Chains A and B, each alone.
Chain A
Amino acid sequence: MSTGTEPDRTGEVHVTGTGLEAPASATPEVLQRKGSLPRWAPLGILAVTAAVMAGVVVAMGSGVGLWLFFTAVVYAVATYVTSRVVEGARKAADRLVTVVVSTAFLLAMIPLVSVLYTVVIQGWERFDLAFFTNSMRGVVGEGGGALHAIQGTLVITGLAALMSIPVGLLTAIYLVEYGNNSRLARSITFFVDVMTGIPSIVAGLFAYALFALLFGPGVRFGFVGAVALTVLMIPIVVRSTEEMLKIVPNELREASFALGVPKWRTILKVVIPTTAGGIATGITLAIARVIGETAPLLVTVGLATGVNLNPFDGRMATLPVFSYYSYAVPGVPREPFLDRAWTAALVLMLIVMVLNVIARLISKYFAPKTR
């Protein structure tokens, strides 16, 4: 140990100890600012990468898909390396994750935008007044419309909603407010979860088999389809309503009980109004979910060419089945049938969109306000 013979070292220790002459520039390393990339750097790197990769892909003679893939991968690597050199490891990791998340988002958007674009472009051809005022009765080629299918879809989905909303709501209320995690409540939850996962064709076959037993084989009318859709819809309504009821704070129930309000009135006037927006949103989304079902309606309702508003007698046309049939077994000439199929798909999509907008408006309107 030679501490005593090194005056400068002891001197330094002394100064630091008293803090008298601490140098102003001695920022500890953790606090020091590293270099930072200019704001245009990500875009710049992306432009350069895309240009270079375009050259590579042309040289290889490949297509756009490979170019996008290469650009994404090389861009991620280039950003990370550049940032690592200039800005340090922490910011480099931040930039890398940003690139990965953005890429995943764009990847997820591709099919969505693609479907939307295709349906709008293809469906635009027959998106005219005749499509909404004519049925297919007596139409073999050009012209005709889907009035019967639109009405059939609304009637059958409306019936399904009418049956499944009360059952679903009351089931959810039982589970959250009265179930107390009992054996019955747990098994209902379990079977609701199982029912969420059954394929829609199974629901269709169930309804078909049930009514075949009652009315003889080969029976097809709108109500059978509504029953099939109900089987699909109940678990969705139960699930979403249950989640909504669960997030109502228990304090509100207690506040109501403490005022001498009976339990059923507390549920009806405090719990449900508090979360009415959420429940309505869940129900609307459940309707949107079943309105596009094709397979169960194919086996239970079939297809008709004319308007049939009576769900208890005879086959009915529905938009998804109409679209499917027009596309799968078009007549001669093919073109008008394909056009009508796309337009039916477009109309269905618009209905779902309207339902979603309604859901948003409802949840906005019913949401508890604070000012």
Chain B
Amino acid sequence: MGKSVEAKNLNIYYGSFLAVEGVDMLIKPKTVTALIGPSGCGKSTFLRSINRMHENIPGARVEGRLELDGQDLYGANVDPVGVRRQIGMVFQRPNPFPTMSIYDNVIAGMKLNNSRASRAVLDETVERSLRGANLWNEVKDRLDKPGSGLSGGQQQRLCIARAIAVRPDVLLMDEPCSALDPISTLAIEDLINELKNDYTIVIVTHNMQQAARVSDFTGFFNIEGTGKPGKLVEIDETKTIFSQPSQKATEDYVSGRFG
């Protein structure tokens, strides 16, 4: 587990509108990469293009190459459903399935795909994933209760458990803490630190302290103005980005002198 992701001159379009232009990025296996930048600069769009989620919007398409360990994710014979089984995702707002219990939510990826796993395997998966998401101790006595009865922070960790239950190679997180309080945020950040032992993690965040705390590498996206495409300004080790970035725009942004 934990594969590298590489974008080569990636352009992302919504219809004829070029949303993100010319991204070259190498994400190393088992690292945490944070994507920062102002709203509307295309970091979420780029993130969603990694597991081909953006294709659900009519007219969305990409040009260029996106590789998972050298394998082209946009090849003609690649099934987007297969891509998503290898690249998991956690969303901004916690979204457990309201009709399912905590147990069923964790194994949703297997259950919805009609896997014929035995009860023992499912039990093992639930415990492993919930332990992995630091939620096991809080919910082990009420696994049959609905997932939507948990608090926001617990729900988000449940969603992370659900994402890692299918053992993806890469975990994408789209502002996973923006709807959570500081304590839940801390719990998720600790979790990210543990998860990077097994997974490659890409996280979009608006919180620069969070990027500095959790990530090994940081990419800064920027946009010149409305209607213009977003671009990756630079990507480097997180300490470098926050201490001596090579671009003036990055320095302005991370030091708060932006816009």
Interface assignment of B15: CB less than 8 Å from any CB of chain A: no
Please tell me if A274 contacts chain B, counting CB pairs below 8 Å. yes
Chain A proximity of B50: nearest CB distance (Å): 11
Q: B112 at interface (Cβ–Cβ under 8 A)?
A: yes
CB distance from A167 to the nearest CB of B (A): 25
A28 to B159, CA, bound (A): 54
Query: Which of B51, B58, B108, B145 touches A256 (beta carbons < 8 Å)?
Result: B108
Question: Taking the complex as formed, is B91 at the interface, i.e. its CB lies under 8 A from any CB of chain A?
Answer: yes
B171 vs chain A, min Cβ distance (A)? 10
Chain B residues, CB < 8 A from A261:
81, 109, 112-113
Q: Nearest chain-B residue to A256 (Cβ)?
A: B112
Q: By the criterion of a CB under 8 Å from any partner CB, how many residues of chain B are at the interface?
A: 33
Question: CA separation between A260 and B162, bound complex, in Å?
Answer: 12
Most B Cβ at <10 Å: residue of A249, A255, A269, A369: A255
Tell me whether A259 and B97 are in contact (CB under 8 A): no
A270 surroundings in chain B (CB, below 8 A): 97, 99, 112
CB distance A368 to B99 under 8 Å?
A: yes
Nearest A residue to B168, CB-CB: A260
Is residue B148 within 8 Å, beta carbon to beta carbon, of the partner chain? Answer: yes
CB distance from B215 to the nearest CB of A (A): 21
Asked whether, in the complex, the Cβ of B166 is within 8 Å of the Cβ of A260, the reply is yes
State the CA gap A265–B85 with chains docked (Å). Answer: 14
* B89 in contact with A251 (CB, 8 Å): no
The interface residues of chain A lying within 8 Å CB-to-CB of B95 are 249, 251-252, 254-255
Give the residues from 114 to 168 in chain B that come closer than 8 angstroms, CB to CB, to chain A: 114, 145-146, 148-149, 159, 162-163, 166
- CA A270 to CA B96, docked complex, whole Å: 11
Task: Bin chain A's interface residue count.
Answer: 20 to 34
Asked if residues B112 and A370 are in contact (CB atoms below 8 Å), the reply is: no
Complex Cα gap A249–B95 (Å): 9
- CA–CA, A276 to B98, complex, Å? 12
Which residues of A sit under 8 angstroms from B93, Cβ to Cβ?
251
CA distance A143 to B58 in the complex (A): 66
- Which residues of A in the span 179-214 have a Cβ within 8 Å of any Cβ on B? 180
Alpha-carbon gap, A174 to B109, bound state (A): 24
B219 within 8 A of A: no
Q: How many whole Å from B17's CB to the nearest CB in chain A?
A: 17
A276 CA to B100 CA in the complex, in Å? 13
- A357, chain B: closest CB distance, angstroms: 23
Closest Cβ of chain B: how far from A273's Cβ, in Å? 5
A371 and B145 within 8 A (CB): yes
Contact call B148/A258, Cβ cutoff below 8 A: no
Closest Cβ neighbor of A258 among chain B residues: B89
Q: Is there contact, CB below 8 Å, between B149 and A371?
A: yes
Q: How far is the CA of A258 from the CA of B93 in the complex (A)?
A: 14
B53 close to A (CB within 8 Å): yes
* Residue B56 lies at the interface, judged by CB distance under 8 Å to chain A: yes
Q: What string of 1s and 0s marks CB contacts (under 8 Å) between A228-266 and chain B?
A: 000000000000000000000101111111111110011
What chain B residues lie within 8 Å of A368 (beta carbons)?
A: 98-99, 146, 148
B53 near A257: Cβ-Cβ < 8 Å: yes
Neighbouring B residues of A253 by C-beta, 8 Å: 56
Residue of A nearest to B93 (CB): A251
**B259 close to chain A: CB less than 8 A:** no
**Cβ–Cβ contact A258 & B51, under 8 A:** yes
A260 touches B91 (CB 8 A): no
Residues of A near B56 (CB, < 8 A) are 253-254, 257
What distance in Å separates the Cβ of B217 from its nearest Cβ neighbour in chain A? 23
Q: Does the CB pair A260–B109 fall under 8 Å?
A: yes
- The answer to the question of B88 belonging to the interface, with a C-beta cut-off of 8 Å to chain A, is yes
Interface 0/1 of B68-103, CB less than 8 Å to A? 000000000000011111101101010111110000
Interface hits, B43-57 → A, CB 8 Å: 51, 53, 56
Instruction: Tell me which of B58, B148, B166 contacts A259 (CB under 8 A).
Output: B166
Distance in angstroms from A247 CB to nearest chain B CB is 12
Known: A254-B53, A368-B148, A370-B148. A259 touches B84 (CB 8 A): yes
**C-alpha gap A256/B163 in the complex (Å):** 10
**In the bound complex, what is the Cα–Cα distance between A274 and B147 (angstroms)?**
13
A256 to B96, CA, bound (A): 10
Is the beta-carbon distance between A269 and B146 smaller than 8 angstroms? no
Q: Cα distance A369–B114 when bound, in Å?
A: 24
> How far is A221 from B86 in the complex, measured between Cα atoms in Å?
58
B176 to chain A, nearest CB (A): 13
| Least Cβ–Cβ distance between A29 and chain B, in angstroms | 42
> Is A274 in contact with B98, judged by CB distance below 8 angstroms?
yes
A250's nearest neighbour on chain B, judged by CB, is B56
Contact of B97 among A180, A274, A370 (CB under 8 A): A274
| Contact B163 A259, beta carbon cutoff 8 Å | yes
**Are B91 and A265 in contact, CB atoms less than 8 angstroms apart?**
no
Q: Which residues of A contact B84 (CB under 8 A)?
A: 257-260
- A269 nearest CB neighbor, chain B only: B112
A369 touches B146 (CB 8 A): yes
Report the Cα distance A15→B113, complex, angstroms: 78
Report how far A360 CA is from B159 CA in the complex, Å: 32
Q: A265-B112, A276-B99 are in contact. List 9 more A-B contacts (CB 8 A).
A: A180-B58, A252-B98, A255-B159, A258-B91, A259-B108, A259-B162, A260-B86, A269-B112, A369-B148
* Interface residues in chain A, defined as those with a beta carbon under 8 Å from any beta carbon in chain B: 180, 249, 251-262, 265-266, 269-270, 273-274, 276, 368-371
Sample (17) of A-B pairs whose CB atoms are under 8 Å apart: A249-B95, A251-B91, A251-B95, A255-B159, A255-B162, A256-B97, A258-B84, A260-B81, A260-B84, A260-B85, A260-B109, A269-B112, A270-B97, A368-B98, A368-B99, A369-B146, A369-B148
In the A-B complex, list the 3 residue pairs whose CB atoms are closest, starting with the nearest.
A260-B85, A368-B98, A259-B109
